[in-house]
């Protein structure tokens, strides 16, 4: 059987998973593609450290040129991560007419369009299923199965670390700090968790999901990003009493001929499918004009699940090599988006305020709301401490502009402070 | 822009959805495929009845030869349903070198392999995403995204009618008969609902899902099939008290080098993702050796959702036409399965027995179980009527053979009858 040689760049959790899966599932892969896949070369930073893990017939090297300059290697798999030097390496690989499979969401979200052009110019494939939601095959599904439908919204839980923390806060009544510590102990959170807990990782994934769903690139600076660092256990508990579960959601919605995108904590109705996604799992909900609501659920990270997405890319590239159809862009839908009017983006909000426990405070807030043309659907008052009350409001739908003005006006009061303002998803 | 002409055979709910989607989403389809899709001809039984629905530039005919013999038509879409005459029509279309898109699960489950060979011989595509779980893009996802993984199990709710009935029984405390009547009023069940409620429809879908997941054809007669017609409200209620939701599940599991497949009512833990699939929705859970558990959820039927799957097939075929890569079989994984030893298939069971309310009855059953080497984890006794008790057991895992013997032995007692025996899914 004809062989296809692969160069693997990076041998961390995902790289090891790719190595394991290719060796375990060679029969099925050959059955489907008619080719034998061979890992010929592996590039690592420290050769000595990985010597034991790698079979002797594989070239283990610290020089990426051993892949770039090897005419026998057809497919390069980049699982080293980070933007530099990965960007230059992938550029060089594509210019050397290698097909590239990558799991690098930061790079694809930031420079995907540029790299896709280089790939196309070289009749090379550039695919990156594993860059979003690890084990969930969402990108290829959007390409193949929503090709004729208009996607109205794509939203989901696309970061496992934050979902693990929020699940533990809810189920165990832990504080954010305790849940984060546990996540770090279990390896679900890094020692510097900022990229995850501040919502950056989820935002990169939403940029890629939006490109596939709407055909347009949204710049990082056009996305509202709020992390989970300030979520208090009392808010998780209070949300549950109202019938909601707090989740870090990425939401990208078509508004007119534009797209509104946001990553933020959201109160999700407890019987909504997204509320039932626990721990490190991910889920992406795609709403199509014709098909309605669909949901794709699976492991968001982990070596083997992510490796499975890498392998599905490798098999796809292999089929293209066999059929002579390489060089087509992974996301082939292009559509110009217009700037949106944010006053059209309306949601109910969960507002948590702390105020001096003296008469007239709630009146101040309700007066403000009335002046803004907004209103409440639920109010609960509890004791915050000896001299202050905690008052929780769930509002009717209001715009971002209304919310902004409300926040500015509340900031002017000495006796009232706004501790939290989270979107509420309706069923 | 180059045009691709399509012949549409059938203009029911799905056919009308296809017509509507092609006209509404022409821009996006052209953007992706570089081709304009034209419905040139529509074949219906009664031309007069449909005249008003169809634009004048489309040929509306009752003669399928107007598609088969038209050299300008490249793709035929069969949405008439049923095995005859659909089988002959699709054979003729393929032999006339038309690519065929069909939503016909009965036909594909029964004669899919034979038709795939005819398609391949004619370098024609034969694709049928819409045949399983209407709006859920599950077949193409298995082909593309599980290509390198070994699928261990595929299970799910693949019939919307029965899921609607069971959801209503649980949520409204309706009897089976009342829920069925309501489903018929709303159009979720046909006037003769046998095909749905007896599990036949779900079985056809499981046959197709198994072919894609395991590469092997399972014959209808090798599948245990049990419908929902005998489910009592009291069992739905009792299951809920134990923490379970009764769902009609199709399950196909790899056992050694064979496959065990079954369609039957199953007690699903209430916090399991499949328990949260309500009403007419469908969901398919695929468990891969590497990827773990993934779930795909969406509308199981309906004109537009199903039409979306048909359109994803049309777009896929169009891409193949453009790339010159037609004639590859939709499911390209072939793997010989061996007969399985059913004693290896073990589940806990929910058993509902009715027995004379006199001493020693439960003892008889527990003695039987002990002789079989099986045991119980939960027992609840309630009053059935003045002289009889209802006793519900949840067993520990036992084999099909043990269950069969148990049923046979219980049948020998005059004073005890077995009203229900349902599998229990563990989390």
CATH number where B277 lies: 3.30.360.10
Q: Are residues A154 and A205 in the same domain?
A: yes
Report yes or no on B331 lying in a domain: no
Q: Are residues B287 and B312 in the same domain?
A: no
Q: Which of B16, B17, B145 to mutate to test the interface with A (most CBs of A within 10 A)?
A: B145
Residues within 8 A of B (CB atoms), A 381-420 only: none
Report yes or no on A277 lying in a domain: yes
The answer on pLDDT for A264 being more than 90 is yes
Report yes or no on A12 lying in a domain: yes
Q: What is the pLDDT of residue A389?
A: 93
Structure tokens at B259: 């496959």
| Confidence band for A359, pLDDT divided at 50, 70 and 90 | confident
The answer on pLDDT for A54 being more than 80 is yes
Q: What is the pLDDT of residue A270?
A: 87
Q: Are residues A179 and A94 in the same domain?
A: no
Q: Are residues B83 and B113 in the same domain?
A: yes
Q: List CB contacts (< 8 A) between B289 and chain A.
A: 24
A341-351 pLDDT, tens digit per residue, is 877 889 999 99
Structure tokens at A265: 């904590």
Q: Are residues A267 and A206 in the same domain?
A: yes
Q: Are residues B250 and B281 in the same domain?
A: yes
Catalytic residue among B40, B74, B98, B205: B205
Report yes or no on B337 lying in a domain: no
Of A150, A308, A333, the CB nearest to B291: A308
Q: Are residues B179 and B289 in the same domain?
A: yes
Q: What is the pLDDT of residue B427?
A: 76
Active site amino acids of A: 205
A75-119 pLDDT, tens digit per residue, is 999 999 999 999 999 999 999 999 999 999 999 999 999 999 999
Asked if B296 is an interface residue toward chain A (Cβ–Cβ < 8 A), one would say yes
Q: Which of A402, A289, A307 is nearest to A348 (CA)?
A: A402
CATH of the domain at A372: 3.30.70.260
The C-alpha atoms of residue B283 and residue B278 are separated, in whole angstroms, by 10
Q: What is the pLDDT of residue A408?
A: 95
Q: Are residues B270 and B308 in the same domain?
A: no
- Known binding-site residues of A for L-homoserine equal 190
Q: Which structural domain, as residue segments, surrounds residue B156?
A: 138-298
| List of chain B residues with pLDDT < 70 | none
Q: Are residues B147 and B285 in the same domain?
A: yes
Q: Are residues B176 and B273 in the same domain?
A: yes
B380-397 pLDDT, tens digit per residue, is 998 889 999 999 999 999
Report yes or no on B38 lying in a domain: yes
The C-alpha atoms of residue A410 and residue A423 are separated, in whole angstroms, by 18
Report yes or no on A332 lying in a domain: no
Asked if B294 is an interface residue toward chain A (Cβ–Cβ < 8 A), one would say yes
Q: Are residues B26 and B114 in the same domain?
A: yes
Q: What is the pLDDT of residue A134?
A: 84
The answer on pLDDT for A285 being more than 80 is yes
Taking CB atoms and an 8 Å limit, are A299 and B291 in contact across chains?
yes
Domain count, chain B: 3
| SS3 track for chain B | CCEEEEEEECCCHHHHHHHHHHHHCHHHHHHHHCCEEEEEEEECCCHHHHHHHCCCCCEEECCCHHHHCCCCEEEEEECCCCCCCHHHHHHHHHHCCCEEEECCHHHHHHHHHHHHHHHHHCCCCEECHHHCCCCCCHHHHHHHHCCCCCEEEEEEECCHHHHHHHHHHHHHCCCHHHHHHHHHHCCCCCCCCHHHHCCHHHHHHHHHHHHHHHCCCCCHHHCEECCCCCCCHHHHHHHHHHCEEEEEEEEEEEECCEEEEEEEEEEEECCCHHHHCCCCEEEEEEEECCCEEEEEEEECCCHHHHHHHHHHHHHHHHHHHHHCCCCCCCCCCCCCCCCCCHHHCEECEEEEEEEECCCCHHHHHHHHHHHHCCCEEEEEEEECCCCEEEEEEEECCEEHHHHHHHHHHHHCCCCEEEEEEEEECCC
B94-149 pLDDT, tens digit per residue, is 999 999 999 999 999 999 999 999 999 999 999 999 999 888 999 999 998 898 89
Report yes or no on B330 lying in a domain: no
Asked if B32 is an interface residue toward chain A (Cβ–Cβ < 8 A), one would say yes
Q: What is the pLDDT of residue B31?
A: 86
Q: What is the pLDDT of residue B377?
A: 92
Helices (H), A96-199: 105-121, 138-145, 160-172, 176-185, 194-197
Q: List CB contacts (< 8 A) between B149 and chain A.
A: 21, 25, 308, 311
Taking CB atoms and an 8 Å limit, are B296 and A295 in contact across chains?
yes
Measured between CA atoms, the residue of chain A closest to residue B141 is A141
Asked if B141 is an interface residue toward chain A (Cβ–Cβ < 8 A), one would say yes
Q: List CB contacts (< 8 A) between A147 and chain B.
A: 28-29, 32-33, 311-312, 315-316
Report yes or no on A11 lying in a domain: yes
Q: What is the pLDDT of residue A427?
A: 76
- What ipTM describes this predicted complex? 0.88
User: Residues of chain A with pLDDT > 90: what percent?
Assistant: 83
């Amino acid at each position: 059987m004809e062989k296809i040689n692969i160069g693997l760049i990076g041998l961390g959790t995902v790289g090891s998973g790719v190595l394991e899966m290719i060796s375990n599932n060679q029969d099925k892969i050959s059955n489907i593609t008619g080719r034998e896949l061979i890992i010929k070369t592996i590039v690592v930073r420290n050769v000595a450290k990985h010597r034991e893990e790698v079979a002797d017939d594989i070239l283990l090297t610290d020089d990426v040129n051993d892949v770039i300059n090897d005419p026998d290697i057809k497919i390069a798999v980049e699982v080293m991560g980070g933007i530099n030097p990965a960007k230059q390496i992938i550029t060089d690989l594509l210019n050397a007419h290698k097909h590239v499979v990558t799991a690098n969401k930061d790079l694809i979200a930031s420079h995907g369009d540029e790299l896709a052009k280089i790939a196309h110019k070289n009749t090379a494939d550039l695919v990156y299923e594993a860059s979003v939601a690890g084990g969930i095959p969402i990108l290829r599904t959007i390409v193949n199965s929503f090709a004729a439908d208009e996607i109205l919204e794509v939203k989901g839980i696309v970061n496992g670390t934050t979902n693990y923390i929020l699940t533990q806060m809810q189920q165990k009544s832990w504080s954010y700090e305790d849940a984060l510590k546990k996540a770090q102990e279990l390896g679900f959170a890094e020692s510097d968790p900022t990229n995850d807990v501040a919502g950056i990782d989820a935002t990169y994934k939403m940029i890629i999901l939006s490109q596939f769903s709407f055909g347009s690139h949204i710049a990082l600076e056009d996305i509202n990003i709020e992390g989970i660092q300030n979520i208090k256990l009392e808010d998780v508990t209070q949300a549950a009493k109202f019938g909601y579960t707090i989740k870090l959601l990425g939401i990208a919605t078509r508004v007119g001929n534009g797209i509104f995108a946001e990553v933020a904590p959201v109160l999700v109705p407890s019987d909504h499918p997204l509320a039932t996604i626990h721990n490190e799992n991910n889920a992406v909900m795609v709403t199509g004009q014709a098909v309605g609501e669909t949901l794709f659920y699976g492991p968001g990270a982990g070596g083997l699940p992510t490796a499975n997405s890498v392998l599905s890319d490798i098999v796809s590239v292999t089929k293209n090599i066999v059929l002579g159809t390489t060089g087509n862009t992974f996301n082939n839908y292009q559509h110009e988006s217009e700037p949106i009017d944010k006053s059209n983006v309306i949601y109910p909000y969960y507002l948590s305020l702390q105020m001096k426990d003296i008469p007239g405070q709630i009146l101040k807030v309700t007066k403000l709301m009335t002046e803004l043309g907004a209103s409440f659907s639920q109010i609960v008052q509890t004791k915050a401490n000896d001299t202050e009350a905690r008052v929780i409001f769930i509002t009717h739908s209001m715009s971002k502009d209304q919310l902004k003005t409300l926040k500015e006006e509340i900031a002017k009061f000495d006796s009232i402070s706004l501790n939290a303002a989270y979107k509420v998803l309706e069923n």
